Structure 1
Amino acid sequence: MQVVHAVRRYLGLGGLSLMLSGCGAMHLASPGEPALGQVRPAPPVSSTALAAERYTPMDWPAPLEARVRLPATPAGTLRPAALIVHGGGWRRRSPDDMEGIARQLAGQSYVTVNVAYRFAPRYRFPAQLQDLQQAMAWIHANAERFRIDTDRIVGIGYSSGAHLVSLLALASQTGPLATPYGGDHTRLRAVAVGGLPSDLTKFDDGPLVVGLLGGTRQERPEAYVQASPIHHVAPQAPPFFIFHGNRDRLVPVDQARDFYLALQDQGVPAELYLQRGRGHIGSFLLRRGAMKAAIAFLNREVGGGG
């Protein structure tokens, strides 16, 4: 892993523009600059938004809905799907924030499933992860109806949504984060996340993380480790595309860099796309270049959007 260690030293100095290794890449992008390895997306197809549907069973602690958008693709064709998860500090916001991304992905022939989840502090971790695991079970149960290729399901999230999607992707089938529903239905083919809080142990004891985990780092140290995606990285992890503002003060950029390097250390394909001069909110609102690069990455990993 000599190249990886060279990348680590490079990133520690802040970086200039580009660094490659055997299974990953880092790109520091200026506004309007094309993404590393960007492939021109296919002409967008039209899509239809369905009425929101409940994806949780009747005995679930809270009724939660999924918004499905179906792309216009030839009859009989199986499509990839995208599970989309909004941010909001684990305690607010809604799938409304991700509708633009859902339309963009549906335009590339993904069936999009834009979901709500339970909020902290009323519901503490791992309730939110279990909601996403249930959403994946629902996607599989409805795969024939929506013409989804279940071997090509990707995950997309921003901020706290990125945190939850990453945990979903990294949760072992047998470990403490494993779904209680059994089977392989939580497996993601690839992941694209932005503004990712990858290591909760590095945050101060602010109300958002304390509310999610039910205590401070000193009170619940194991919970902080368990809820940190970086501590679950393993060689079998799916490929990750990570975008992050290099001026992010809410979720410092080292959260993205460290996670990228942890993936590299395990030989997991990954790309890190740093948005020059962007903070946490700005990197989401001004995400055009990052999303083009993310969709190109996802298309490569799932064999195209169609």
Structure 2
Amino acid sequence: MGQAKAAAERGYVSVLADYRVACRDKTNAIVAVEDARDAYAWLRRESAGLGVDPGRIVLAGGSAGGQLALVTSLSVTGAALPAALVLYNPAVDLIPMGSWIGLRPDEAAAISPSAMNVAASPRMLIFHGDADRIVPIGTVREFCRKVTSAAGRCELHEYAGQGHGFFNDHAKDAQGLAPYDDTLDRTFAFLDGLGLQPSRSVASGRLN
């Protein structure tokens, strides 16, 4: 939420997409993926009315939201591809989590970014803590290697001693940097480097 507000303050069109979850809706991760895909399709369909250039949409998300952004982007091709991805400790390998999230191995593989074709993946920026016990850093390193081996661009920033959700931490370290501020600054620098910063005539969309 804070990241989306910060993006809006910089002139981006920020879109927060909700999705069904087990604890609230008694659904599973497959349904969440359907919701994410529908949300992206809606955003592209309604882009003109929202002041969004569909060719400049950036998908972003943390943890399960990162997985949903990834799966959504890997499920489309051509002009429908988002311009980039910004991912915060994304769950990239759901196969080992299958029983934990109530999916069969084949179901987990079908929505696991690590098992999908990444040959046409968008440029992506990933932030991850090397002490993450929920999404092991090794799975993210391997996923990035897979992307770069397929001639894609995967920029991974690792944060020493940080666990899951660290990017929401506003506490400053010995160098005076807070994970929230550092990841946010790097996010905007990444988007600026891709020429995706807002302009007077064209705004970018962001899906969290």
Deviations 1:73-115 (A, max 9, x none): xxxxxxxxxxxxxxxxxxxxxxxxx2x1111111232101011
Question: Equivalents in 1 of 2:31, 2:68: separation in Å?
Answer: 10
Matches within 5 A, 1:252-267: 252-267=136-151
The corresponding residue for 1:291 is 184
Question: Equivalents in 1 of 2:64, 2:134: separation in Å?
Answer: 12
Deviation of 1:205 (Å): 3.5
- Normalized per residue, the structure richer in strand is 1
Work out the number of aligned pairs and report it. Answer: 188
Deviation of 1:163 (Å): 0.8
The corresponding residue for 2:20 is 118
The corresponding residue for 1:305 is 198
Deviations 1:13-47 (A, max 9, x none): xxxxxxxxxxxxxxxxxxxxxxxxxxxxxxxxxxx
**2:83 counterpart of 1:192:** no
**2:41 counterpart of 1:147:** no
Matches within 5 A, 1:6-21: none
Q: TM-score, normalised by structure 2?
A: 0.82
Task: Tell me the secondary structure at the aligned position of residue 274 of structure 1.
Answer: strand
Q: TM-score, normalised by structure 1?
A: 0.57
- Normalized per residue, the structure richer in helix is 2
| Matched residue type, 1:137 | A
Task: Tell me the secondary structure at the aligned position of residue 247 of structure 1.
Answer: coil
The corresponding residue for 2:6 is 104
Question: Equivalents in 1 of 2:97, 2:34: separation in Å?
Answer: 23
Which of structure 1's runs of 4+ aligned residues deviate more than 6 A? none
Structure 2: tracts of 5 or more residues without a match: 170-178, 200-208
Q: 8 Å contact 2:55–2:79 — kept in the other structure?
A: no
Deviation of 1:202 (Å): 3.0
Q: 1:302–1:137: structure 2 CA closer, same or farther, 3 Å change rule?
A: farther
Choose from 202, 218, 224 the match for 2:96.
202
Task: Tell me the secondary structure at the aligned position of residue 151 of structure 1.
Answer: helix
Structure 1: tracts of 5 or more residues without a match: 1-97, 174-182, 214-219
The corresponding residue for 1:163 is 67
Matches within 5 A, 1:87-98: 98=1
Q: What root-mean-square deviation, in Å, do the aligned CA atoms of Structure 1 and Structure 2 show?
A: 2.0
Deviation of 1:305 (Å): 2.8
Choose from 263, 268, 272 the match for 2:156.
272
Question: Equivalents in 2 of 1:233, 1:259: separation in Å?
Answer: 11
Matches within 5 A, 1:214-233: 220-233=104-117
Question: Equivalents in 1 of 2:60, 2:41: separation in Å?
Answer: 17
Question: Equivalents in 1 of 2:162, 2:124: separation in Å?
Answer: 21
| Matched residue type, 2:6 | Q
Question: Equivalents in 2 of 1:224, 1:140: separation in Å?
Answer: 27
Question: Equivalents in 2 of 1:302, 1:164: separation in Å?
Answer: 24
